[in-house]
């Protein structure tokens, strides 16, 4: 296997800025749980000897961008005549990504000499010649004009012209083994380009491999508190309206994802401080719907592990189980979901025809085909 995907080399040579420490300091890269999961995915794809195309839906601050930049730097550093491109949604985001790359260079004493280095990119001197180009996706045709073997495409959900930019950029990357394109983004609403590409990847309808990184796999998202403080932090467990979209949601999080009391306490604090009092999502479908202006936020942020792609509404309320897509919506909206012309009342809830997929429900509301009506 190529040395640039060797985590031993990366951890021995690359340094990062630990900005979440006090005070911030530079130290050797040590992969966290999310990054180790990504390393395993890349090694698996590498062994298949085909173009590597990853689309990553992530929680914030899991180190995904750090991981991608480490992979691109290692390849440019160890393999001659390579070209990579770094794109983010705005100049500030792109500059932040490139600062990671530049830091790897600054602390790698054995790197090849450089011929060119600026905020627009870096090129190693001959005979090595590998380079990285830095641009912003605010440009409609960013990343074109050259041939690249690698691309880091960050926060695709926030790009100004995602369809045009991706169509143009992907023509600049050859479909050869080991060519590498990584899309990584947090969720930013339903129905956008990133959402559509993610859904297609999950359904196996594209050449992209989906990787979902929920918040609870990140070790930092856990409060280390004494038992008495945890008891206080988790008061009204499973029943507090602020932290439970439906009664027993926190119990379901424990059952479905084996969350610890420390993780649940962190989740409550995040809801209070980071999310403005809105329940955070754990399910990958609902993460992609967050911040949609077409639906109540509370309706979207469900820990909806059962609502996976292809899941349909069951034939009767008795078989609904923990999936709260329809029944629980009434509790927060004081209304109900009704399909225009065909919605029916059943057991005090509004139901859709058997076989309606979760994505169909959400898209139907957005398009006005399904309405949330008051009682």
Q: How far apart are CA 235 and CA 253, in angstroms?
A: 16
Confidence of residue 4 (pLDDT cuts 50, 70, 90): confident
Lowest mean pLDDT: which of 22-26, 237-241, 262-266? Answer: 22-26
Architecture of the structural domain at 3-213: 3-Layer(aba) Sandwich (3.40)
| Nearest C-alpha neighbor of 211 from the set 90, 67, 323 | 67
pLDDT, position 263: 95
What does the buried/exposed string (b/e) look like for 110-137 if buried means 16 or more CB atoms within 10 Å of the residue's CB?
ebbeeeeeeeebbbbeeebebbbbbbbb
- The pLDDT tens digits of the residues spanning 175-191 come to 998 899 999 999 887 77
Report whether pLDDT(309) > 50. Answer: no
Using the predicted structure, report yes or no on whether residue 317 has a pLDDT greater than 60.
no
Average pLDDT over residues 70-88: 95
Domain boundaries, the chain: 3-213, 218-273, 298-374
Instruction: Name the pTM for this structure.
Output: 0.74
Sign of the alpha-carbon dihedral angle for 317, 321, 326, 331: positive
For residue 199, how many other CB atoms are within 10 A of its CB?
19
Mean pLDDT of 306-310: 35
* Whole-angstrom distance, CA of residue 235 vs CA of residue 223: 15
DSSP 8-state assignment for residue 325: T
Characterize the bridge pairing of strands 83-88 and 131-136: parallel
pLDDT-derived band at 72 (thresholds 50, 70, 90) equals: very high
Residue 354 above 90 pLDDT?
no
pLDDT grade for 277, boundaries at 50, 70 and 90: confident
Joined together, the tokens standing for residue 342 give 């065909």
């Amino acid at each position: 296997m190529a040395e640039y995907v060797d985590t031993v080399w990366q951890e021995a040579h690359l340094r990062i800025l630990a900005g979440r420490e006090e005070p911030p300091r530079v130290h050797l890269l040590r992969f966290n749980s999310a990054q180790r999961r990504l390393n395993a995915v890349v090694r698996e794809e590498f062994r298949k000897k085909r173009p590597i195309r990853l689309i990553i839906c992530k929680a914030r601050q899991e180190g995904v961008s750090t991981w991608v930049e480490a992979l691109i730097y290692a390849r440019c550093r160890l393999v001659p005549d390579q070209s990579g491109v770094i794109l983010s949604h705005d100049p500030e985001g792109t500059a932040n990504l490139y600062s990671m790359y530049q830091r790897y260079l600054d602390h790698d004493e054995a790197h090849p000499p450089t011929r060119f280095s600026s905020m627009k990119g870096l090129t190693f001197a001959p005979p090595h010649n590998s380079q990285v180009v830095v641009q912003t996706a605010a440009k409609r045709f960013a990343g074109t004009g050259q041939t690249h073997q690698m691309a880091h495409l960050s926060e695709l959900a926030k790009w100004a012209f995602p369809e045009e930019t991706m169509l143009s950029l992907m023509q600049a990357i050859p479909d050869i083994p080991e060519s590498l394109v990584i899309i990584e983004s947090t969720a930013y609403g339903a129905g956008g380009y990133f959402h559509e590409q993610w859904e297609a990847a999950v359904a196996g309808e594209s050449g992209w491999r989906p990787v979902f990184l929920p918040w609870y796999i990140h070790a930092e998202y856990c409060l280390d508190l004494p038992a008495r403080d945890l008891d206080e932090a988790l008061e009204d467990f499973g029943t507090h309206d602020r932290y439970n979209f439906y009664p027993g949601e926190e119990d379901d999080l424990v059952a479905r994802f084996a969350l610890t009391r420390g993780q649940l306490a962190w989740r409550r604090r995040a809801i209070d401080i980071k999310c403005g009092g809105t329940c955070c999502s754990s399910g990958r479908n609902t993460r992609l719907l967050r911040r949609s202006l077409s639906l109540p936020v509370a309706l979207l942020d469900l820990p909806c592990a059962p609502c996976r792609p292809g899941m349909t509404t069951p034939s009767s309320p008795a078989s609904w189980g923990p999936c709260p897509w329809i029944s629980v919506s009434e509790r927060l909206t004081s209304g109900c979901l009704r399909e225009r012309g065909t919605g029916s009342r059943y057991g005090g809830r509004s139901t859709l025809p058997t076989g309606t997929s979760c994505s169909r429900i959400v898209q139907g509301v957005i398009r006005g085909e399904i309405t949330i009506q008051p009682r």
